[in-house]
Structure 1
Amino acid sequence: MKRHFAIALLLLCGGSLTTEAQTLTLEECRAAASEHNRTLANARLELEAATQSRREAFTNYFPQISASGGVFQAQHGLVQAEFDVTIPQMGSMPVPISMVKRGIVGSISAVQPLFAGLKIVNGNRLARLGEEVGSLQLQKSEAEVRERTDTYFWQIVSLKERLTTLDAVDRQLDEIHRQAELSVRAGLVTSNDLLRVELRQQEVASNRLKVENGLKVSKMLLAQYVGADWRTFDIAFADTEPEPPTVWYVDVEEALDRRAEYQLAEKNVEARRYEKRIERGKRLPTVGVGAGYLYYNVMDRNVDDGVVFAQVSVPISDWWGGAHAIKRARLREQQAENDRMEAREMLAVEIEKSWSDVLEAYAQISLAERSIASATENLRQNRDFYRAGTSSLTELLEAETLYTQSRDKQTEARAAYRTAVARYLRVTGR
């Protein structure tokens, strides 16, 4: 009975320690990164903070309510006076009077601003603009995270395909090694040929270690990005032909209007404009109406009363430095407009360069495929020549090296093209 219980407990613990493998496609990696990435989480928090700022600014339309109260106890009466009292047959005598030694005072008032130099209106517009900027920043971060996710994903795909190439090379070298070993035993070649094959095998083994280490690091980076455990994380992908660049092309002017970076530059100009209006509003009169209630008891009598009032404030002396502040704000607006124009020009250059990179990367795929065809035929011929004894082992190993390099170039070209497409989608606002 105890033995059965121990086995059951061991199986239960073993089951709890095993972690289920997590294999994600590219779309699943994008979705997971959008949900778990900390950069996006911070961008969402910034947007929420901007929303709270907008709501805070809206409360400036409400009446400003304040209340105060207090009690006091004086050592002597706060009202000190002397009265001359005339007493018959004694003449005039001063009589000191001391009053208001203790008391209670309280008040409450509410002031509704009617006109505040448009500071409240422009402040609310500026706060609303801040929320729009937060939304654009989130959009920009989402595009960057998507591009980075695609880059990590295709980097892993590239390294996996390089491992596949190394597996094929290992099989070829094993066959060459077997043939060289038979030739050495038959006395047809010297042992140097066998050593050359073994050196090439060791070189391939060294390259495998580098690729496997790079694959591990790339998986760790992507797993951290998507919020997964890198120990059990892997990707799933279909080895399909990449689509031609024409599928992704978009007009530059259309792409510029969709770029979050350009829209942020436009929002910066708009924000500077509101700041200029707020500076001007600080020098305008403010008008408000209010009502209040007052209570006090300073002579053992309860007194309360209500009051309504209107107030006008004219900041006359503020105009001395205000003209310079307004001019400074106007200069900031001009700077923002210059930044907007420069941003549009530089973004257009970035879009054109990114499109050129896409075209170049796609052309590299075609060149790599032709290189593979040539290298494959060259390897086949050298293998046949070596078996027939009309070609040396050195030539066969060179052909095998060229074949490996052509396969690696194709792998790199495919990954570079897909990475370039991901970058092009980001810089065109998609």
Structure 2
Amino acid sequence: MKTYKYILSFVFLLVISFQSLQAQDRILTLEQAKTLAKTNNKKTKRASQNIAAAEAAKASVYASDKPFVDASAMGIHVGEPINALLPENQAVASLGVSQVIYAGGKIHTAKKISSTAVDLYTSQKELTQAEVLLDVETTFWQIINVTAKVDLANKYKDLLTELLKDLTNSFDAGIIYKNDVLKVQVQLNTAELNLLKANDGLAILKLKMAQLIGLENADFEVKDALNINAPLTEKANAKDALTNRPEIKMLTNAVEIETLQTKVLKADRKPTVAFNVSGLYGTGKAINFSDASNDLTSYYSVLSVNIPVFDWGGRKQKVKEQQFKTEAKQLELQDTQELIVIQIENAYLELQQAIKRVKITEKSLAQADENLRLHQDRFDAGTVVGKDVLEAQVLWQKAYSEVIDAKAMQQISQANYKKSIGQIN
């Protein structure tokens, strides 16, 4: 019997341990969320596929200056009266090698374009990943915010419930009027409604997080706290930070590609030289008329030179068109640089405002907390009525809620500033 009890105890401990491990698996930290987003997010995956496509295109371009080998074969049957001149049945096979000797520098320029295109798509992935990480961090702190609001709503309900109990006793004793009780009941109903909204909002935010980081469901809990003592990012030099922004890298690559496209169009106005050599083999009845042999083996070579002579200025205008496009892209780069400098300064100012807001709201909460304590003591002593306590509770709840919002906004503002200077990771 004792052995049976030991076995049951051991099984019970295993079940508890397994459930504990499962609960631990459902805890999600900010760093874990970011790591999952980098590998599982659909936008990030799509950006990786674009890089792979650009790499394949680059490999194709780099193969274009190598000799091309082509082979062909065909069988021929001719009827009367042609069979009097040609073999009635014959087969012909050929093997040719072609090599571009000179193309005005187009191949070399195309290689540079393909390499730059890979860099552009790499920067595009950096931008996509930065946007996804900011979205993940924003959603994470919103979840923390709403979770704290849920806890606050429960605390507020407890305060109201206790006050309602005291006022109900006073009303039953005939000390106060019923409207004092009704005011607290209305406030309690409002608190329950706000709690319901907060829980619904939390569920939506967790679904959004699951989609961002590639989880199949939202069966997880976030783990962190609204800590205002988190290390802050030092103010960066806006112009130095430009080099970290993927948008600037992308536009720089785009300007380079447009410039190289101009060289390609200029090369169209230059001669093209190509060489081809092909070997032939044919078989058929009396296919070689010189000796009535059934086999024929031969070869031929071609050196071709294509020289553009006159096209009514069409190629020249294409070059001008491309030059204007390059200048337009250059202006876009300069404009983006100026706007990003403003964006960085604005993000830093918003972060400073968020820090100050935390300090102010915490000061207000301390005052509201003291105010509520004093009103509660006086209510217990019978020197103030329930209405005064209710007002103090409402003021405390509002101040507490503003502290939660301020701390969450500080974390989000800090993440936004890191993204603006290209350091979110």
Matching residue within 39, 43, 52 for 1:39: 43
Distance 1:185 1:253 in 2: 72
Q: What is residue 202 of structure 1 aligned with on the other side? A: 189
Q: What is residue 110 of structure 2 aligned with on the other side? A: 123
Q: What is residue 69 of structure 2 aligned with on the other side? A: 65
Q: What is residue 57 of structure 2 aligned with on the other side? A: 53
What is the letter of the counterpart of residue 393 of structure 1? G
Q: What is residue 280 of structure 1 aligned with on the other side? A: 266
Aligned pairs (5 A) from 1:89-104? 98-100=84-86, 102=88, 103-104=90-91
Note the residue ranges of structure 1 that are not aligned, 5 or more in a row: 1-10, 80-97
Matching residue within 155, 158, 163 for 1:168: 155
Q: What is residue 230 of structure 1 aligned with on the other side? A: 217
- Residue-by-residue CA offset, 1:151-199 (whole Å, 9 max, x unaligned): 1110010011111211221221122122212222332211221111111
Does residue 378 in structure 1 map to residue 382 in structure 2? no
Q: What is residue 328 of structure 1 aligned with on the other side? A: 321
Aligned pairs (5 A) from 1:403-418? 403-418=396-411
Pick which of 291-300 and 48-57 moved more. Answer: 291-300
Q: Are the aligned partners of 2:34 and 2:136 in contact in 1 as well (CA < 8 Å)? A: yes
Does residue 365 in structure 1 map to residue 375 in structure 2? no
Q: Are the aligned partners of 1:50 and 1:131 in contact in 2 as well (CA < 8 Å)? A: yes
Q: Are the aligned partners of 1:75 and 1:101 in contact in 2 as well (CA < 8 Å)? A: no
Matching residue within 300, 305, 312 for 1:312: 305
Deviation at 1:39, TM superposition (A): 1.0
1:292 is paired with a residue of what secondary structure? strand
Aligned pairs (5 A) from 1:292-303? 292-297=278-283, 299-301=286-288, 302-303=295-296
Please tell me whether Structure 1 or Structure 2 has the larger radius of gyration of its CA atoms. 1
Matching residue within 252, 260, 264 for 1:266: 252
What is the letter of the counterpart of residue 426 of structure 1? K
- Residue-by-residue CA offset, 1:298-349 (whole Å, 9 max, x unaligned): 7432221233443221132446310111111111111111111111111111
Deviation at 1:231, TM superposition (A): 4.5
- Residue-by-residue CA offset, 1:20-79 (whole Å, 9 max, x unaligned): 441111111111111211111111111111111111111101112223333333334559
Runs of 4 or more above 6 Å deviation: none
Give the aligned CA root-mean-square deviation in angstroms: 2.2
Q: Are the aligned partners of 2:171 and 2:178 in contact in 1 as well (CA < 8 Å)? A: yes
What is the letter of the counterpart of residue 162 of structure 1? K
In percent, how many aligned pairs have the same letter?
23
Q: What is residue 87 of structure 1 aligned with on the other side? A: none
What is the letter of the counterpart of residue 39 of structure 2? E
Matching residue within 14, 26, 31 for 1:27: 31
- Residue-by-residue CA offset, 1:65-108 (whole Å, 9 max, x unaligned): 223333333334559xxxxxxxxxxxxxxxxxx51253443322
Distance 2:110 2:305 in 1: 21
2:274 is paired with a residue of what secondary structure? strand
Q: Are the aligned partners of 1:248 and 1:425 in contact in 2 as well (CA < 8 Å)? A: no
Q: Are the aligned partners of 1:33 and 1:145 in contact in 2 as well (CA < 8 Å)? A: yes
Does residue 187 in structure 1 map to residue 174 in structure 2? yes
Q: Are the aligned partners of 1:155 and 1:218 in contact in 2 as well (CA < 8 Å)? A: yes
Deviation at 1:281, TM superposition (A): 1.1
What is the letter of the counterpart of residue 40 of structure 1? T
Distance 2:175 2:239 in 1: 70
Distance 2:364 2:138 in 1: 25
The alpha-carbon distance between structure 1 residues 261 and 45, as it changes in their structure 2 partners (threshold 3 A), is: same
Matching residue within 91, 99, 109 for 1:112: 99
Q: What is residue 156 of structure 1 aligned with on the other side? A: 143
Note the residue ranges of structure 2 that are not aligned, 5 or more in a row: 1-11, 289-294
Q: Are the aligned partners of 1:76 and 1:101 in contact in 2 as well (CA < 8 Å)? A: no
- Residue-by-residue CA offset, 1:101-130 (whole Å, 9 max, x unaligned): 534433221111121111111111111111
2:269 is paired with a residue of what secondary structure? coil
How many residue pairs are counted as aligned between the two chains? 397
Pick which of 315-324 and 211-220 moved more. Answer: 315-324
What is the letter of the counterpart of residue 417 of structure 2? Y
Deviation at 1:355, TM superposition (A): 1.0
Distance 2:43 2:251 in 1: 21
Deviation at 1:297, TM superposition (A): 4.8
What is the letter of the counterpart of residue 264 of structure 2? I
The TM-score, its normalising length taken from structure 2, stands at: 0.88
2:313 is paired with a residue of what secondary structure? helix
Deviation at 1:251, TM superposition (A): 1.1
The alpha-carbon distance between structure 1 residues 120 and 78, as it changes in their structure 2 partners (threshold 3 A), is: farther
Distance 1:231 1:138 in 2: 26
